[in-house]
Structures are given as structure tokens and as C-alpha cells.
């Protein structure tokens, strides 16, 4: 039996090389080894206002980008979160197993509340509990995450342990998987901040669907540090970030790169990085262009994914409902 791996991306903004390096690339590398569930989490996305027709087309586009990045639909379960009612149902139960104090400590809530101060809704606040439900429903073993999600996974584990203390063995306790390099890609104009796909300034990120000329322009504009040396250093956050991107995409180690760019200037380094990015994005964009026009194919994948995911999720949900004292549905309905 393969271990169960679950990972998700919220359909907001444009998928970036941060998402690629921190999530999609790892998914591709891990897909044969694990029983993988890959979601587009539209229920998480609406914690921030989304224009309905854009959300719909973005969900399709993200699935097409997953496929274009090499995620195999036959080998994995690919689905949209809202197609599985069990996520919302378990989230409600787990809300009742989560303390307000725990939610108050979530740094992502604090950051997002600051950013969206005119819409601090209850969904944004209980988002980590929905994420816990996403993970626990499938008895997940491994959750590949960037370090921005560490705190949420810790909370998931705490909730699961708390529930299991009263109801033995209901939830499998998931482990985080954090890739060694590039766990966190930083913004191009402000390397102290994470690269976010929903950033209001697109010059902060490279999108997977950015045209070559746009990639070149954004890398040229990317901020650099004082001095001239191209090396990984705490005092050089901008160059360190660009080197990390280079390393993750080329497979070369950071020390190999420091050697390669010894005595070279920033302009040359940036040009080579932009060329590498363009080269890596080209096949993804080529496959994407074909896929996005085939809505029937994508719909069929989502239908199949929802069928498989519903079956699995409902198994856990029914156990949990029974444990908390809900009457079995069959007995009422039948």
C-alpha cells in the first residue's frame, strides 16, 4: 500500500514559480511513489472576495496547469474541493473541536486580515480548520508544504490528536514534507516577503504563463543587493533568492552556482536566470495551450476525481459523525 499524499492550491491570482518550486514540481516528482490527491481549493479561495466568473475559469486554468506541469490524471486523484461536500461537513464538526485561542495565533490570518481589512470574514478566520478537514478526511500520511503552511499543519495535528484522545484511531496523524531547497521563494521586488500568487503587483512574481519577454523584463527589474558578489548570504536576500530559483530549476547546487558566477556581474547572472526560466516554462506553456481549449477533457478528469474523492472522504466523515453522536443517515432516510 502506498502512503497517502494530499496537496492543494487555492485558485487565486496566477500560479507562480513559487508554487511550482514549492508545490507542483514536488508533486510531479512524488506522484509515482505515493497515492496522491491534488486539489484546487475553491472554498479556501472565497475567504477573499472572488469575481464569480473569474473564479470558475481560474479553477479550470489551474487544473490545466497542474496537468501541463506533468501531473498525471490517471495516476492521481485530481479534484475541486467544493465537489466534495464532506469537506464542509467535517470542517463544521472540527470547528467545534478547535479553540479560538489556537485560531488567534495563526500568522496567516493576521497577515491576510491586515491585507483585506474591509473583509475580515469568519471564513478567513476558520480557514485552518477547513484545511485540517481537507487533510484528515483522506487519512493523509504526507502533506508537502512550503514553510508558510507549517503552522496550519501543526494545528491539524493538534485537532486530530485531540479528537483521537476521545475517539481512538479515527484520524491518521499527518506529517509535513518540506523540500530541502526552495521551500520558500521570495518576492522579486521585496525579498523579505514570500512570493504570493495573489500579489497585487505582478512584478513581484513570475507566473507560469508569463510570456518570455515578460519573464525577461521582470527578472531585469528584480531588486538586487549592494555589492557585486553572486553568493548565498544572509546580507544578500535578493541574490540569495534568485540563486535559489536558479538552483531549483537547474538542479545545480548553490555552491556550483557560486562557482559558475564567480567574478560575473549581476546583469549576466540575471540574463542567464531569465533564459533558464523561459526554457523551463516553454514546454509547460505549450502543453497548457492545448489543454485549456479542451474543456470536455478537463471536466471528465474532474468528474472522475470527484467520484473517487467522494467515496474516500465519506468513509471518514461517516465514522466521525457516528463518534460525535449523529444518527446514521440511512436509518432516517430508509
Which residue is it, cell 512550503? Answer: 146
Q: Catalytic: which of 194, 218, 236, 270?
A: 194
Is residue 14 involved in binding ligand ATP (CB under 6 A)? Answer: no
Is residue 19 involved in binding ligand ATP (CB under 6 A)? Answer: yes
Which CB atom, from 115 or from 220, has the smaller least distance to ligand ATP? 115
Is residue 194 involved in binding ligand ATP (CB under 6 A)? Answer: yes
Which CB atom, from 186 or from 317, has the smaller least distance to ligand ATP? 186
For residue 22, what is its C-alpha cell? 514549492
Which CB atom, from 116 or from 172, has the smaller least distance to ligand ATP? 116
Question: Could you tell me which of 199, 249, 233, 239 has the C-alpha nearest to residue 219?
Answer: 239
194 part of the active site: yes
- Residue nearest ligand ATP (C-beta atom): 22
112 part of the active site: yes
Is residue 149 involved in binding ligand ATP (CB under 6 A)? Answer: yes
Is residue 151 involved in binding ligand ATP (CB under 6 A)? Answer: no
Rounded (to 5) percent helix, strand, coil in the chain = 60, 10, 35
Ramachandran category for residue 179: left, alpha or beta (phi over 0 → left; psi -120 to 50 → alpha): beta
Q: Report strand pairing: 77-80 vs 4-9.
A: unpaired
Residue 228's CB: how many other CB atoms inside 10 A?
Answer: 11
Is residue 21 involved in binding ligand ATP (CB under 6 A)? Answer: yes
Question: Could you tell me which of 334, 174, 181, 171 has the C-alpha nearest to residue 252?
Answer: 181
Q: Catalytic: which of 25, 112, 236, 270?
A: 112
Which CB atom, from 5 or from 320, has the smaller least distance to ligand ATP? 5
Is residue 247 involved in binding ligand ATP (CB under 6 A)? Answer: no
Partner residues linked to 37 by β-bridges:
6, 77
Q: Are 145 and 176 within 8 A, CB to CB?
A: yes
Active site residues: 112, 194, 197
Contacts with ligand ATP, residue ranges (CB under 6 A): 9-10, 12-13, 16, 18-19, 21-23, 145-146, 148-149, 184-185, 194-198
Amino acid at each position: 500500500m502506498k502512503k497517502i499524499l494530499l496537496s492543494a492550491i487555492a485558485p487565486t491570482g496566477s500560479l507562480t514559480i513559487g508554487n511550482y518550486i514549492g508545490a507542483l514540481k514536488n508533486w510531479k516528482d512524488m506522484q509515482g511513489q505515493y497515492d496522491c490527491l491534488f486539489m484546487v481549493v475553491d472554498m479556501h479561495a472565497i475567504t477573499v472576495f472572488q469575481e464569480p466568473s473569474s473564479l470558475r475559469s481560474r479553477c479550470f486554468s489551474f487544473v490545466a496547469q497542474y496537468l501541463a506541469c506533468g501531473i498525471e490524471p490517471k495516476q492521481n486523484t485530481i479534484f475541486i474541493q467544493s465537489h466534495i461536500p464532506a469537506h464542509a461537513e467535517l470542517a463544521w464538526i472540527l470547528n467545534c473541536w478547535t479553540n479560538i485561542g489556537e485560531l488567534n495565533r495563526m500568522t496567516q490570518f493576521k497577515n491576510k486580515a491586515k491585507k483585506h481589512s474591509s473583509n475580515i470574514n469568519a471564513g478567513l478566520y476558520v480557514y485552518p480548520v477547513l484545511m485540517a478537514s481537507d487533510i484528515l478526511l483522506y487519512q493523509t500520511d504526507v502533506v508537502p508544504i512550503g514553510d508558510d503552511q507549517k503552522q496550519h499543519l501543526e494545528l491539524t495535528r493538534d485537532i486530530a490528536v485531540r479528537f483521537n484522545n476521545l475517539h481512538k484511531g479515527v484520524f491518521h496523524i499527518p506529517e509535513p514534507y518540506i523540500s530541502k531547497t526552495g521551500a520558500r521563494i521570495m518576492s522579486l521586488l521585496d525579498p523579505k516577503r514570500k512570493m504570493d500568487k495573489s500579489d497585487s503587483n505582478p512584478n513581484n512574481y513570475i507566473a507560469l504563463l508569463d510570456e518570455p519577454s515578460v519573464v525577461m523584463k521582470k527578472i531585469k527589474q528584480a531588486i538586487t543587493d549592494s555589492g557585486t558578489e553572486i553568493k548565498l548570504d544572509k546580507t544578500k536576500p535578493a541574490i540569495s533568492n534568485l540563486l535559489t530559483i536558479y538552483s531549483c530549476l537547474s538542479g545545480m547546487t548553490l555552491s556550483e552556482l557560486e562557482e559558475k558566477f564567480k567574478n560575473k556581474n549581476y546583469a549576466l547572472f540575471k540574463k542567464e536566470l531569465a533564459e533558464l526560466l523561459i526554457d523551463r516554462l516553454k514546454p509547460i506553456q505549450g502543453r497548457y495551450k492545448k489543454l485549456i481549449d479542451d474543456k470536455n477533457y478537463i471536466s471528465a478528469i474532474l468528474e472522475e476525481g470527484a467520484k473517487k474523492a467522494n467515496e474516500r472522504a465519506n468513509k471518514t466523515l461517516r465514522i466521525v459523525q457516528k463518534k460525535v453522536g449523529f444518527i446514521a443517515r440511512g436509518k432516517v432516510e430508509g
